[in-house]
Each structure stands twice: as structure tokens, then as C-alpha cells.
Amino acid sequence: MASWDYAANGPATWAKSFPAAAGQKQSPIDINPGSAAKESVGALSVNYKAGNNTLTNTGLSFAVSIDGSLSGGPLGSEFKAASFHFHWDKSSAAGSEHTIGGKAYASEVHIVHYNASKFSSVADAANVDGGLAVLAIFVQPGAANAEIQKLVDVLPSCGSNGASAAIPGGFNASALLPGDKASYWYYPGSLTTPPCSETVTWIVYKDAISMSEDQLAAFRNVTPCNFRPVQSVGGRKVCCSF
């Protein structure tokens, strides 16, 4: 299989070409809120700065480059922000990758960070245990999100795989964070796309953000569906900050 997708070469087939996809620490997972272990961790520190933000069509999604840092919470060292992207489905009944007690959201944002004490890029960090930290934020349909509208406005000029464009005025990634920044789950997992490397500390916020159905529809013009179904939790401990 030369390539992978969410159709004929979908998630059930990925392990043939990407053996890590059949591992025991895969993502996403269904988080059972009742069985998460409360641990006392320090405050999570998240700092993003708007600047030169480029949106790139990656074929099965789009990604936006960002600058910033992430530390504290369950993380032992300083991480640098690299980019964010979304996952979604053809209708708003599904689309998130993680689920909470079996509930799916319409979309899920992933803000990707790499361990800056050891690596200088996501690509280097993606192969090594503890290399990556991804913040996940659920999105529910509702009020339009003004910052996300900047992405919707740029998407038509990035219509094909590999096309990219600057976001006029930059993008404030802090607008992707929910109101309640103190309540999240965390667990050790993987990239949710090939190569599905098991190198990610996942931090999944409890609180969701909203965007409008029209904004979700604009994402679906890139591709109709790009979420991986939940994987087995196995023996992993899922913790919560709250």
C-alpha cells in the first residue's frame, strides 16, 4: 500500500504498511470519565503567539503552522508548538477522534508540540518515546468561531494537496482553547495517522469549543471524513487533572 486514507485504504488496513498501528498504546481512545485517576499535577502552561501562520492543504486535512510553548501539567519538560489541524466527519454526529463515555463530538482540534529539550522538529521527535505532546480540544456545532473563520476564508485558495497560503493578520491559536483550561485527561498514546508512532503524551480538554455548521461544511470541502475510530485502552492508565 503506497498510501493510506479513510476509504479503501482506511484505518483497518493501516497496520499492513505501518505495523505500529497494531500496537498496544494506540490513539484515539474512548475516555471513561468514571475510571480516570485524579493526580495532582502542576498547572499546564500554554502560550501561543500569532505571527506568520501558514495554512497548508495536506490532502486528507489541512494544517496551520504556529509558534508557542507548552509545559507543566503532566509534562516533564518544555515543548514547542509546531502546528494544529482538525479531524471531522461528513456530518456532525461524529468526527472527533477521542470520545468521552462513548460520546463523539463533531470535530477535534489537535495542537502538535515536540519536546524542545531533546529535538528540533516534530519529524525528529515523532519517533522517540516522550517526543510529542498533543493538545486535543473537542468542537461542537454552535456559534461561529471568529478565529476559525480566518481558516475558512483561506481554504478556497488552498484547494489541492500541498497548496498553502499565509493567514492574513496571523492566527491566535489561544482561540482554540476552551474556557475551562484546568480540566483535562491525559494518557500515553500514538499519532492517530500513519505511521501511528507511540510517542505522544495526549492531553484532552474536558470543555469543548464551538464553531458553526457552515464552518464545519467548509472543512468537509477539503475531504469528507478524516477521523480514526477509537482503539483499545488496554492496560493504560488514563489520568485526569480534575
Minimum CB separation from ligand BO1 for residue 137, in Å?
A: 12
Window 49 to 88, contacts with ligand BO1 (CB under 6 A): 63, 83
Question: H helices of 56-169, where?
Answer: 122-125, 146-154
| Whether the Cβ atoms of residue 102 and residue 229 lie closer than 8 Å to each other | no
Task: Cell numbers for 68, please give them.
Answer: 508557542
Q: Which of the choices Zn ion, ligand BO1, none does residue 46 contact, using the CB cut-off of 5 to 8 A by kind?
A: none
Residue with cell 492566527: 171
Looking at beta carbons only, is 110 or 113 nearer to Zn ion?
A: 110
Query: Using CA atoms, how far apart are residues 80 and 195, in angstroms rounded to an integer?
Result: 21
Q: Does 110 bind Zn ion (CB under 5 A)?
A: yes
Task: State in angstroms the smallest separation of the CB of 34 from ligand BO1.
Answer: 25
Among 193, 223, 226, 231, binds ligand BO1 (CB under 6 A): 193
Least separation in angstroms between CB 46 and ligand BO1: 16
> Is residue 199 a contact residue for ligand BO1 (CB under 6 A)?
no
Asked if 43 interacts with ligand BO1 (CB under 6 A), we say: no
**Strand ranges (E), the chain:** 30-31, 37-38, 44-49, 54-57, 62-65, 67-72, 79-88, 99-100, 107-115, 132-141, 164-166, 184-189, 200-205, 209-211, 239-240
Q: What is Dmax (Cα atoms) for the chain?
A: 46
126 binds, among Zn ion, ligand BO1, none (CB under 5 to 8 A by kind): ligand BO1
Strand partners, 113: 81, 133
Closest C-alpha to 98, from 225, 233, 237: 233
Query: Is residue 228 part of the contact set for Zn ion (CB under 5 A)?
Result: no
112 binds ligand BO1 (CB under 6 A): yes
119: three-class secondary structure by DSSP: coil
Q: Closest approach of Cβ 126 to ligand BO1, in Å? A: 4
122-141: contacts with ligand BO1 (CB under 6 A): 122-123, 126, 134
Contacts with Zn ion by CB under 5 A lie at: 110
Contacts with ligand BO1 by CB under 6 A lie at: 63, 83, 110, 112, 122-123, 126, 134, 191-193
